[in-house]
Chain A
Amino acid sequence: MSPQILSLLFDSLLQTLWMVAVSGVLGTVIGTPIGLLLATTGRGELLQCWTFNRIGGVIINATRSTPFIILVVAIIPFTRLITGTSIGTNAAIVPLTVAAAPFIARIVEAAIRAVEPGLIEAAQAMGATPLQIIGRVLLPEALPAIVLGLTLAAVSLVGYSAMVGAVGGGGLGDLGIRYGYQRFLPDVMAAVVIVLILLVQLIQSLGEAIARRVNKRQITR
């Protein structure tokens, strides 16, 4: 493989990392509070608010059922509004974030709902406010599950980021398509796939390691 290709590979890796990192962080910042609200506004729950629960659920389902590549195209006006352009790595971050946020919201919702109801009850019996219950009980108790869920989201984002090549997003997927497939350079394709595999492995191991550290249900000292 030529040094030129190697440097291209490295640049693409950086682009992928950048897209995944930024959209992952933004998706978490947006998705977490939505997930928290979804988990606590249902019938008979802490912050009971049926309208939010219903409407939020419908919007999230709609976003999540739209195929990603269609989402990318469909929100081009929105992307342009935010980044001033509809092509390039930074522009690609917008649809990635729009896809990640509802996914992460569902992950957080599931993790919060999995917290034992007895703990909520114990906190209520202590005179905790709903916000205290969320901040001091639900989030810390759900943290290991949330970390694992975010890992899953990051891995999915690596996959999605390969698709934004279609709108000039760059990244490893784009490199693979343009060089490996269109110019028929199988060694480039193989290199892209190997780097992607390593990247996903790394994210998964890192996520699991963090989840283990924050999980006090199984103590490893």
Chain B
Amino acid sequence: MIELQQIEKRFSTRTTGDAVRALDGIDLTINAGEIFGIIGRSGAGKSTLLRVINMLERPTAGRVLVDGVDMARLNATDLRAARRHIGMIFQHFNLLSSRTVFANVALPLQLAGTPRAQIGARVAALLDLVGLTALRDRYPAELSGGQKQRVGIARALASGPKVLLCDEATSALDPETTRAILRLLADINAKLGLTIVLITHEMPVIREICHRVAVIEAGRIIEQGTVFDIFTRSESPITRSFIDQVMGRALPEHLQRLLRDQPQDGDQTVLRITFTGNTATDPVISMLSRTLGVDLNILHGQIDYIRDEPFGILVVATRADPSQRTAIEQFLTRNQLGLEVLGYVAANPVIAV
């Protein structure tokens, strides 16, 4: 649906004349009907990347294909027509303060020259979809953030687009409202088969609704894949720092303090076991103890679901000797679980706290 080929975007700054390379060779393919997330730190180039898709920002090199059409080669009239098939929603909503909810949603239809009678029916249906029918005559100043974003979504959908671009659509909202808006987007994606491209710096947003995700850093895509794969298999430090927003892979601080790199006499070994997919529900710990006869002391654990697939970590301490440890490792690998030695702690570490 959307294909970005070798996209490069340079901004020349007015003061120094130096070029800022906001995008640096982006290759990305976004399939029809999927919710594609782009995550990155502030200044990574997310907004620029999104705005390149509808030519609000013209790339200095590379090709942008939307539905097979090379966007950069369209003339002004054709570009306007193409933009009607690409809805966009914004972090700060960008609603017209001078128009009511109804009139804001009607705007794209008026711009496209839709007859009045049709506008009324279409806007009513859209307001129903986003749950704002009762507020149709209010002005944006009289709405909450979540309600404003619903207006933004209805407005973006008005011209019946095939693609919806979301620039930090939930960053100005509280967690609960964020979840409601994300649910709405997921609903729309399912109901209308719309392709959604969503940029964010918040991993929970990606986990909540995205199918696939790309991580962008300094204008380059450093990693991409299904959300589950990125969550469970990524080793890139930048990606991990985002994942840590959701999954506490980092140890609780008091445990971190007790860890040492070299074992001392009578120390226990601290292991981190990662579960993914099907294995997450297996009774691993009891199986380990039973088959290998080792005792495992659970220090820390978390289990989470990504699009209904479980995924978790477990930090355990064990007195196992090296040969037993090899056995544990083999057992875990056989069961497709991840294992990492984190360090060593004195016997009974938890009690020490």
Task: Identify the stretch in A13-21, A113-121, A178-186 within 8 Å (CB) of chain B at 4 or more residues.
Answer: A113-121
* Cβ-based interface call for B69 (8 A): no
Q: Are A126 and B141 in contact (CB under 8 A)?
A: no
Q: Are B159 and A217 in contact (CB under 8 A)?
A: no
| Residues A125 and B80 in contact in the complex (CB < 8 Å), given A118-B94, A217-B141, A219-B141 | no
Chain A contacts for B92, CB-based, 8 A? 118
Chain A contacts for B338, CB-based, 8 A? none
Query: What is the size category of the interface that chain B forms with chain A?
Result: 20 to 34
B88's partner among A122, A132, A216, A217 (CB-CB below 8 A) is A122
Chain B contacts for A203, CB-based, 8 A? none
Per the bound structure, the CA–CA distance linking A214 and B98 in Å amounts to 8
Q: Are B141 and A127 in contact (CB under 8 A)?
A: no
Chain A contacts for B107, CB-based, 8 A? 123, 126, 136
Chain A contacts for B98, CB-based, 8 A? 140-141, 143, 214, 216
Q: How far is the CB of B337 from chain A (nearest CB, A)?
A: 47
Q: When A and B form their complex, which 3 residue pairs have the shortest distance between CB atoms, in order from nearest?
A: A127-B80, A127-B83, A122-B94
**Proximity string of chain B (102-120) to chain A, C-beta cutoff 8 Å, 1 when within and 0 when not:** 0000011011100000000
Q: Are B94 and A127 in contact (CB under 8 A)?
A: no
Chain B contacts for A124, CB-based, 8 A? 56, 83
**Proximity string of chain B (71-112) to chain A, C-beta cutoff 8 Å, 1 when within and 0 when not:** 000000001111110111010101011110000000110111
Per the bound structure, the CA–CA distance linking A123 and B107 in Å amounts to 9
| Residues A122 and B90 in contact in the complex (CB < 8 Å), given A129-B80, A140-B96 | yes
B96's partner among A129, A141, A219 (CB-CB below 8 A) is A141
Minimal Cβ-Cβ distance residue in B for A120: B94
Q: Are A125 and B54 in contact (CB under 8 A)?
A: yes
The winner among A118, A123, A216 for most chain B CB atoms within 10 A is: A216
Q: How far is the CB of A144 from chain B (nearest CB, A)?
A: 8
Q: List 9 A-B contacts (CB under 8 A).
A: A121-B94, A125-B86, A126-B83, A126-B155, A127-B159, A132-B111, A217-B97, A217-B139, A219-B139
* Cβ-based interface call for A25 (8 A): no
Q: Are B80 and A128 in contact (CB under 8 A)?
A: yes
Per the bound structure, the CA–CA distance linking A169 and B99 in Å amounts to 44
* Cβ-based interface call for B142 (8 A): yes
Chain B contacts for A118, CB-based, 8 A? 90, 92, 94
Per the bound structure, the CA–CA distance linking A214 and B107 in Å amounts to 19
Q: Are A125 and B83 in contact (CB under 8 A)?
A: yes
* Cβ-based interface call for A49 (8 A): no
Q: Are A219 and B94 in contact (CB under 8 A)?
A: no
Per the bound structure, the CA–CA distance linking A122 and B110 in Å amounts to 14
Q: How far is the CB of B32 from chain A (nearest CB, A)?
A: 20
**Proximity string of chain A (20-31) to chain B, C-beta cutoff 8 Å, 1 when within and 0 when not:** 000000000000
Minimal Cβ-Cβ distance residue in B for A221: B142
* Cβ-based interface call for A152 (8 A): no
Chain B contacts for A217, CB-based, 8 A? 97, 139, 141
Chain B contacts for A140, CB-based, 8 A? 96, 98-99
Query: Taking beta carbons and an 8 Å cutoff, which residues of B are in contact with A?
Result: 54, 56, 79-84, 86-88, 90, 92, 94, 96-99, 107-108, 110-112, 139-142, 155, 159, 165
Q: How far is the CB of B183 from chain A (nearest CB, A)?
A: 24
Per the bound structure, the CA–CA distance linking A123 and B98 in Å amounts to 14
Q: How far is the CB of B67 from chain A (nearest CB, A)?
A: 15
Minimal Cβ-Cβ distance residue in B for A122: B94
Chain A contacts for B108, CB-based, 8 A? 126-127
| Residues A136 and B94 in contact in the complex (CB < 8 Å), given A125-B54, A125-B86, A126-B84 | no
Q: How far is the CB of B58 from chain A (nearest CB, A)?
A: 12
Q: Are B111 and A123 in contact (CB under 8 A)?
A: yes
Per the bound structure, the CA–CA distance linking A116 and B140 in Å amounts to 14
* Cβ-based interface call for A218 (8 A): yes
A141's partner among B54, B80, B97 (CB-CB below 8 A) is B97
Chain B contacts for A119, CB-based, 8 A? 94, 96
Minimal Cβ-Cβ distance residue in B for A216: B139
Q: How far is the CB of B330 from chain A (nearest CB, A)?
A: 56
**Proximity string of chain A (97-125) to chain B, C-beta cutoff 8 Å, 1 when within and 0 when not:** 00000000000000000001011011111
Chain A contacts for B165, CB-based, 8 A? 125
The winner among B87, B111, B139, B141 for most chain A CB atoms within 10 A is: B111
Per the bound structure, the CA–CA distance linking A218 and B97 in Å amounts to 9
Chain A contacts for B83, CB-based, 8 A? 124-127
Per the bound structure, the CA–CA distance linking A121 and B112 in Å amounts to 16
The winner among A116, A121, A125, A126 for most chain B CB atoms within 10 A is: A126
Per the bound structure, the CA–CA distance linking A129 and B78 in Å amounts to 11
Chain B contacts for A121, CB-based, 8 A? 56, 90, 94
Q: How far is the CB of B113 from chain A (nearest CB, A)?
A: 10
Q: Are A127 and B56 in contact (CB under 8 A)?
A: no
| Residues A216 and B141 in contact in the complex (CB < 8 Å), given A126-B83, A132-B111 | yes
Q: How far is the CB of B11 from chain A (nearest CB, A)?
A: 12
Further contacts, 8 of them, CB under 8 A, given A119-B96, A123-B107, A127-B111: A118-B94, A125-B165, A126-B107, A127-B79, A136-B111, A141-B97, A216-B141, A217-B97
